[in-house]
Every structure is written in C-alpha cells, then in structure tokens.
Amino acid sequence: MMPPFERARQLTAARSRCKPRCLRCDCRDTGAIECFGHRSSAIVAPVATGRAEMRTVQRPHCIACGSSGTELYKDLPDRLFSAPGTWTIKRCDNTQCETLWLDPAPAPEDLGEIYGDYFTHGKSDRKLSKAKRAYLETRYGAKPTSATDRLLAALFATRRRRKMEIDDQVFHLKRDSRPQRVLDVGCGSGDALWTLSELGWETVGVEFDAKAAEAARAKGLTVHVGDITEQNFADASFDAVTLSHVIEHLPDPHTTLRECHRILKPGGSLTMLTPNAGGLGHRIHKVDWMALDPPRHLNIYTVDSMKRLVADCGFANAEVTSSASGSDRIAMTSSAIRKAGHADLGAKPGFLVKRVARLQHALQAGLVKVNGKLGDQLVVKAWKT
C-alpha cells in the first residue's frame, strides 16, 4: 500500500499541472473541487497532519436517535486527501433512522487537521449571465419581472442540471417585499451570500476559516470568524438561516441547530443541504460512494433521521426532500474510487464514465419525482413557530 504522504505528494504534483474540474460542471474556473459558482469552499490540498495516526473518540450511539449501530464498512482510508488512519462507518439499527456515522471518529481537537488547506481563497466570477439573473429574479426575487425576463427564465429552467445547481446556490429562498436578513453558517468565501445579496437579502455569514472569511469580506460581505455559538447574535434576529454541506461535518449538530433556532424570528426558516445516506447514489456505489468521505463526514443522515434531528432542536413542520443535484459528478468520483481505491479530483473523467454518470443523474432526477427519498442530496426546510 502506498504511504499516505507519498500519495499526498503525487496529488500535489498533479494539481500543479492541471486545475481540477468542478464537481458540478466541467469548468476549471478555480483550483477547487467545485467552482466558485457552485460552492463557495472546497478542499484543494492533501492533508498532512505530521502524525501516522490521529487521536480518536468512540461514538457507539447514533447522533440522531441514540440507538446502537452495526458496522457497515470497515478499514476505510481517506480516499480523497490521504489523511492518516482507517475508519469504520456504522449504520443505525433503528430502521426508522438508518443514519450513518464514524465510530471511532477524529477527536475534536484534531478535527481541524483533517481538512488541510480546506478553503479556496482565489477570486471568483461574480457576474450573472442575463439568463441566470432573469431566472433568479423571476423565481426568487421580490420584484415583478418583465416578459423578456420571464422568457429567459423559462429557457434557463430547461437546463435541468444548471437549474438544480442555481436553486441550491440560493438555498431555495424566495424573497418577499419586506427587508429580510439571512445568516449562512459555513459560508466559505461568500459566493452564495453575494448572490443572495443581489436578490435583495441583508446577508451575514459565519465561517471557521479566517482566510475564507477574508475573501468573503473582500466582496463587501459581513462575515464573522468562528463557530455560530461564539457570535452572540441577538434572539430572533434573522429571517432565514442556511447551512450548505456543513451539518455532516459537525460532531454536535444539536448545539448548532438549537442556536439556529434561537436566533431565528418566529416564522423564520432553516434551510440545509447535506448528503443523503438513503439515496440512489449510495445504493449503487455502496462502499465507494464519494459522499461517505471518511474521516470528514462524521454523520450522514436520511430523510427520516433528519426530520427527527430538526424536531429535537425545536423546529416544527420540517420538510425533508432530496435532490439529484451534483449526482453526476459524485458518480464519476465514486467510479474512480471503485477502480483505484482513491480519486484524484484533478483528473479528467473519460467519455464513457461521464456518459454513464450523466445517465445516472437523469435516472435519479426522474426517480426523485416518484420517490422523494432517492436523491443524493437532502434538502431540508424547517420553521420556527
């Protein structure tokens, strides 16, 4: 087996020759896993912790329901960035839950080390095409749009994959005529916040990584560094709170979600995007599914377990559905993991791999319309009463 740091050296050399493609499209707009247009932050460098193994903590019980679990996958290395150690993923024995989680998991004091140089800090293209702007303003804006904009929006909506990506970028949030304030937890370098500000939202971000926060501030955005619980936001001070692919990384999601509930106004909404353990992608790729992502993804939820989690944190009337957004790129990376045991995110997928992945995306998008639990990504909407 290749030593982890030799693999890390090879990955670094490969990335210096070729910018990786975005996981959600084929652009090479940045050196990120996902281009800035589709996600504000991504891992861009292999991990080097300086230790052969990481400190770990035992996690014998499901974070969502408290049940015990059964080992589903054992001895998994980091298939993307060569963090040291091997990992076991358990599945909750409660058939009404079936959350996946790492046991053991990296110790809290070591969590920062498994990300390496996690956030990209380069400049991003903040220009919106006419069609994209027309779609956003027609579907999510507060002001009436012209007939021309409505036509452009309708044409843009026919591009199903791009439409899904843009819907995710604004967290499916529709503005109304009132001044409204949104907090994005884990906002990265702020591209989603910038787009929301273009739609008229008053935006605030929270970000762990100081360099990513600095990049967001360079766009004129208000971004705080650290954990949401450290910010001392006033009670009932936001109309919406959003988390895009954050909750799966948290060892204590309850504390974060209860803080989100506290700072939301009555009637305010929580929106989260996160991988779906019960989706078609996991059923097809199983142990090779990219979104397992040990050791970074500590908990991977299902529709049912996510409903339980948000309800336990005080939210009512939760709507948890799923989406096929990004499933083609996840399928391509999962295919690489199956073949080689790891994936080089800077590699260009072959024609056949790409075509099969696009077919899987189309199949998944169709099946989600029949069974809302089959998408690779959970879309969570919950409200504070």
Per-residue tokens: 158: 């026919």
Q: How far apart are CA 191 and CA 40, in angstroms?
A: 5
Tens of each residue's pLDDT in the chain, 385 residues: 444 434 443 443 443 333 333 433 434 333 333 333 333 333 334 454 455 578 999 999 999 999 999 999 999 999 998 889 999 999 999 999 999 999 999 998 888 778 765 444 444 555 567 777 777 777 777 666 778 777 776 777 777 777 777 777 788 788 776 779 999 999 988 988 988 988 889 999 999 888 889 999 999 999 999 999 999 999 999 999 999 999 999 999 999 999 999 999 999 999 999 999 999 999 999 999 999 999 999 999 999 999 999 999 999 889 999 999 999 999 999 999 999 999 987 788 888 989 999 999 999 999 999 999 999 999 999 999 9
- The whole-number pLDDT of residue 151 equals 77
Note the pLDDT of residue 30: 36
CA gap 175, 183 in Å, rounded: 14
Q: What angle do CA 343, 345, 349 make, to 5 degrees?
A: 85
Whether the upstream peptide bond of residue 46 has omega within 30° of 0, thus cis, is: no
pLDDT of amino acid 144: 66
Give the model's pLDDT for residue 238.
98
Q: Which residues make beta-bridge pairs with 207?
A: 225
Query: Where are the extended beta strands (E) located within the chain?
Result: 56-57, 69-76, 87-92, 100-102, 105-106, 181-185, 202-207, 222-225, 238-244, 264-275, 299-300, 316-323, 377-383
Q: How far apart are CA 373 and CA 97, in angstroms?
A: 13
* CA distances, 187 to each of 151, 202, 294 (Å): 32, 14, 22
What is the C-alpha separation between 81 and 5, in angstroms, rounded?
10
How much is the pTM? Answer: 0.80
What's the pLDDT at 159? 73
Range of the domain at 97: 4-383
Number of domains in the chain: 1
Give the pLDDT of residue 168.
76
Amino acid at 80: L
Half-sphere exposure of 203 (CA within 13 A, CB side): 27
In degrees and rounded to multiples of 5, residue 304 shows phi and psi of -70, -40
Q: What is the CATH number of the domain that holds 254?
A: 3.40.50.150
Contact by Cβ (8 Å): 93, 80 = no
Closest CA to 211 of 225, 222, 197, 221: 225
Residue 344 is predicted with a pLDDT of 84
Cβ atoms within 10 Å of 75's Cβ, excluding its own: 7
Rounded Cα distance, 326 and 161, in Å: 8
Listed in sequence order, the residues at least 6 apart from 294 whose beta carbon sits closer than 8 Å to its beta carbon are 76, 77, 78, 79, 87, 89, 102
Rounded to 10 deg, the angle between the 351-370 and 327-340 helix axes is 130
Please say whether the beta carbons of 29 and 124 come within 8 A.
yes
DSSP calls for 8-43: HHHHHHHHHHSPPPPSSSS--SSSSSS-TTT-S---
pLDDT score for 82:
85
